[in-house]
Structure 1
Amino acid sequence: MRLLFGFAGGRGHVEPLLPLARAATARGHDVAFTGRPGGLPAGFPGFPAGADDSGERRPLQRLDRAREEHDFLHGFGGWIARERAASTRAAAAEWRPDVIVCDEADFGSMIAAESLGIPHVSVVVLAAGTFGRPSGLALLLDETRALHGLPPDPGLGMLDRHLVISPVPPTFRPGGAPMRPMPPVPRQKTEPPTVYFTLGTIFNTESGDLFGRLLTGLRRLPVRLVVTVGAAIDPAELGPQPPHVRVERFIPQAELLPSCAAVVSHGGSGTVIGALAHGVPLVVVPMGADQPANADRVAELGLGLVLDAVDATPADAEAALHAVLTDPAFTANAAALREEAESMPPPDEVVGRLEALAQDGA
């Protein structure tokens, strides 16, 4: 079986695809990826398409949910879908896949698959799921569908025509065929407790003074604080730090989460899904995109606390992290989500469904 994996965004759109891709490779199937050059994972043939994020620094903006929904609609549903449909068709012409697998926001790859008569599978990458279906999406996607000879799809049947796979515990986001997000990893407690602070790989450059403001409060606590600022930011910008604070551009979160007692983050889906899989409670400081919806769900399920990115003071950050570390309810609720994630079918089992789909065809 030949599989083409597509993604429409950055690292958070790629990481959820990797367990399935690796499991398919282990079963002897041929796997390739198509997407932004900087997101193409090592170890697989790649078809680069589009441009990476510029990394341009931007000031922190007050959260505006209507603005974020508009940007998603006209980005992922508009020009990105058009670009992805064309580039995935081109990659498919060369790779000749039996199945196209894409992240759930890669609408262009879904359209490309349908236009080529190839079954497609989408993988959930938006943790809460309430953000990625704005009003007007069908009308915009119909424009791209028409470019590839497809009829209108007012009911958005294209989104789940064949199979939707979800690495998110159903309690957090119901729906989709469940797939364990990662192999079970033993928890590794540290003394003092380890806390991971990140603002992701895109919104980190739109965070203004947020890193420094929150860090001022977080480092007051007796914790081992690990901070990642992203490739575009020099850790030296945050100034000298005490011995219990480590600041790096990037560390794979899979290396950190097994030993973490808490995560402080922007609430991007990749970070949230990773924290859930490891049973780690959160302090979420949403700035945009899917983050507000993820933060809402974290608060609703008692998995952590939420701060306002513009208004939060160092004292607020210190108090929120202290509460998440010391209130056993947060840890217990996060542990329950971890147990749920570990009970989900492993990727190897899910590959069997792709094999059946390839055999049946579109």
Structure 2
Amino acid sequence: MRVVFASWAWPSHLLPLTPLAWAFRAAGHEVLVATQPPLVGAVTAAGLPAVAVGSAMDHTRLLGSAMRPLHPDAAPAPAPAPVPAPGRRRRLGLSVRVAEDMVDGLARLCAAWQPSLVLHEPTTYAAPLAAASLGIAHAPVLWGVNFHDAARAHEAEAFAGLSARLGVDGFDSRGLVTVDPCPPSLQVPSAHPRLGLRHVPYNGPGVVPPWLRRPGRPDRPRICLTWGVSPHWANEDEHARAVEQQHRLIAALAGLDVDIVVATSSREAVDETRLPADVRVVERLPLHLLLPGCDLMIARGGAGSMMTALAAGVPQLCVPQYVSDLMPAERLAATGAALSLGDTPTDPEAVRDAAALMLRTPAFAGAAARLRAEAEGLPSAAAVVRRLTAMVSGAERPMGG
């Protein structure tokens, strides 16, 4: 069987698709990964064949209006959003622009290569549109907690123009089934059928450094501080804000008797001359290599970091920075495996005190271990490949069908 995986060019959206693409290849299926040109290198670095569709859009400019800071008064003003054309709705504006950029190239790819299935991350609407226009089965693959479901109320209207141009009637981005890596106790309930998938973290290629192969001091906990990759791809103001926020947190955490590892996509994002001598900065070290040796992760609540820590059984202290961080952080805190500082302005001393509380309270580690066990009980990628193949071939009715 031939399978197309599709994602627009945002790293944290592409990476969760990679292990499932590996599983399809390992089962003998042909796979192509379609993305916009800026992420073609990330696809090939993961050992997968890439096809560029669409253009090298200025995503940082578009995201200036889509990624809403929780505390705009404390942040530089975002770049002005593009003025919408008369009559165009603002809802799902970024997703519509990306779909317009990708859909024709993706439809041409599918028409020529004739895949049996198109799998996509949930905000790459070009994939279900192109697949539906050609009568190809399609399904979204979630990153983690499904905060996208509310967008369904606006999809038909937002994509009415593209649907009409492509001849798609009754557009539904959910497709056959939703492939879901999130443990049920963490996930948002949904009436749409879901196919559980054991999460295998992949945060990019990397080399395990020698210090990480040696056990740390059992009496000195290790904290990982990371904002993920998104702020490093955002506009300059948001990038600068994230850098300053990390420095303030590090200064506060340095008062604890802990090892601090700052995981960043670029050393330029951290002014190491301002850091205490015992703070370690790692550049492009994948979190799936780092977190198993950590006792706590402090992060903003992004899906990639959250799911990687979950799979490692590491408690999490969530410091939400964007509106989209809030709901996943709240869901995680409700499991007992995390604390979330919610939407209050971030006080470094409050973060330090919360971290100290979590490190001395065994219940957080216990809840994180239970959540990890729940995640490990979900079907393997190999099993999901078999189920999806059976659904597409007709050997198994689509779930809920």
Deviations 1:300-333 (A, max 9, x none): 2222222368832321121121122221221111
Residue number in structure 2 paired with 1:194:
222
Conservation of the 8 A alpha-carbon contact between 1:283 and 1:320: yes
Conservation of the 8 A alpha-carbon contact between 2:133 and 2:166: yes
1:244-323 equivalent positions in 2, closer than 5 A: 244-288=278-322, 290-307=324-341, 311-323=345-357
Conservation of the 8 A alpha-carbon contact between 1:279 and 1:335: yes
Pick closer, same or farther for the CA change 1:267–1:9 going to 2, 3 Å: farther
1:76-155 equivalent positions in 2, closer than 5 A: 76=95, 78-125=96-143, 127-134=144-151, 135-153=153-171
**Residue 51 of structure 1, CA deviation:** 2.5
Residue number in structure 2 paired with 1:48:
52
Conservation of the 8 A alpha-carbon contact between 1:217 and 1:315: yes
Query: More deviation in 198-207 or 210-219?
Result: 198-207
Residue number in structure 1 paired with 2:253:
218
One-letter code aligned to 1:199: W
Residue number in structure 2 paired with 1:73:
92
One-letter code aligned to 1:74: G
Deviations 1:33-80 (A, max 9, x none): 01133434221221123326666898994348xx9xx9772212x212
Hey, what's the Cα distance between the residues in 2 that align with 1:309 and 1:189? Answer: 36
**Residue 9 of structure 1, CA deviation:** 5.0
Residue 237 (1) aligns with residue 253 (2): no
Query: Which of 152, 170, 173 is equivalent to 2:184?
Result: 170
Pick closer, same or farther for the CA change 1:254–1:320 going to 2, 3 Å: same
Hey, what's the Cα distance between the residues in 2 that align with 1:4 and 1:97? Answer: 6
Query: More deviation in 340-349 or 240-249?
Result: 240-249
Deviations 1:239-266 (A, max 9, x none): 2433431113321111012112111111
The RMSD of aligned alpha carbons is 2.9
Query: More deviation in 109-118 or 160-169?
Result: 160-169
Structure 2: gaps (5+ residues):
73-77, 79-88, 202-213
One-letter code aligned to 2:19: P
Percent of residue pairs identical: 28
Conservation of the 8 A alpha-carbon contact between 1:142 and 1:152: no
Residue number in structure 2 paired with 1:160:
174
One-letter code aligned to 2:52: P
Residue 333 (1) aligns with residue 367 (2): yes
Conservation of the 8 A alpha-carbon contact between 1:210 and 1:309: no
One-letter code aligned to 1:48: A
Deviations 1:56-113 (A, max 9, x none): 898994348xx9xx9772212x212222322321322343312111112222201111
- Give the secondary-structure state (helix, strand or coil) at the position aligned to 1:130: coil
Hey, what's the Cα distance between the residues in 2 that align with 1:329 and 1:44? Answer: 40
- Give the secondary-structure state (helix, strand or coil) at the position aligned to 1:234: helix
Conservation of the 8 A alpha-carbon contact between 2:315 and 2:365: yes
Hey, what's the Cα distance between the residues in 1 that align with 2:255 and 2:379? Answer: 41
Conservation of the 8 A alpha-carbon contact between 1:201 and 1:230: yes
Pick closer, same or farther for the CA change 1:138–1:325 going to 2, 3 Å: farther
Conservation of the 8 A alpha-carbon contact between 1:102 and 1:122: yes
Hey, what's the Cα distance between the residues in 2 that align with 1:249 and 1:289? Answer: 27
**Residue 15 of structure 1, CA deviation:** 2.0
Conservation of the 8 A alpha-carbon contact between 1:61 and 1:310: no
- Give the secondary-structure state (helix, strand or coil) at the position aligned to 1:133: helix
Residue 227 (1) aligns with residue 262 (2): yes
- Give the secondary-structure state (helix, strand or coil) at the position aligned to 1:345: coil
Hey, what's the Cα distance between the residues in 2 that align with 1:160 and 1:54? Answer: 24
Hey, what's the Cα distance between the residues in 2 that align with 1:6 and 1:102? Answer: 5
Hey, what's the Cα distance between the residues in 2 that align with 1:149 and 1:254? Answer: 42
- Tell me the matched-pair count: 347
Hey, what's the Cα distance between the residues in 2 that align with 1:215 and 1:72? Answer: 37
Deviations 1:153-187 (A, max 9, x none): 4xxxx23331211111111114521110128xxxx
- Give the secondary-structure state (helix, strand or coil) at the position aligned to 1:31: strand
Hey, what's the Cα distance between the residues in 2 that align with 1:223 and 1:97? Answer: 51
Please give the TM-score of this superposition, normalised by the length of structure 2.
Answer: 0.78
One-letter code aligned to 1:284: C
- Give the secondary-structure state (helix, strand or coil) at the position aligned to 2:150: coil
Hey, what's the Cα distance between the residues in 2 that align with 1:152 and 1:203? Answer: 36
- Give the secondary-structure state (helix, strand or coil) at the position aligned to 2:159: helix
**Residue 289 of structure 1, CA deviation:** 5.4
Residue 346 (1) aligns with residue 380 (2): yes
Pick closer, same or farther for the CA change 1:335–1:352 going to 2, 3 Å: same
Pick closer, same or farther for the CA change 1:106–1:180 going to 2, 3 Å: same
Pick closer, same or farther for the CA change 1:282–1:52 going to 2, 3 Å: farther
Please give the TM-score of this superposition, normalised by the length of structure 1.
Answer: 0.86
Hey, what's the Cα distance between the residues in 1 that align with 2:389 and 2:261? Answer: 41
Pick closer, same or farther for the CA change 1:179–1:254 going to 2, 3 Å: same
